[in-house]
Structure 1
């Protein structure tokens, strides 16, 4: 069974990004403006789908106000796991190795990864 985060499409993700960036409930008009959409039908459809999936909540005041019900981190984590499972047979090590081989990580990235791994290793030993 897949989670809400895995069911969010690319187009819906754009709407979620607007809501996450806003940090507070938004109206359809505010979301349309942030997406540079003229008529709003597409955004309204995407919001309806996100509400049905449980990713966005809506509250009726004079107009509907929309709030994300899943965090950016939850969606990123779910999508990252799905990517690793699909492209690297579930091996994060193979994904990182592919990034290194493709010269996608600079020295700063590598240093930050080392620091993160050292911190995680230290937490496991405690």
Structure 2
């Protein structure tokens, strides 16, 4: 599989909510880092977030994709779009730097403006408040 094909499979799997495919594209010890919280996630932590995203955002799509493939992986800029249950539109421009070894993703560094994540943070906060005794 080429790096471009790997990237296509990754984003198609995320759009469709197929975290089993995503897991298969990650190395066992892969990490995902996010600039907005400067936290690094394990594969399991990242898959938990992706499952939540799939349940929370309808019509999840990667749009305006620009990708540069290189020997060690790829860089991609895209706009993640979708809608929340209350009709709020989600629009999150992002840039990812993805390191690939063989045919597995070993690291993702994701850059987004936290202001664009506001609608998602609001949903997460409401759900936490509903489940806190």
TM-score (norm 1): 0.25
Q: Max radius of gyration: which structure?
A: 1
TM-score (norm 2): 0.24
Higher strand share: 2
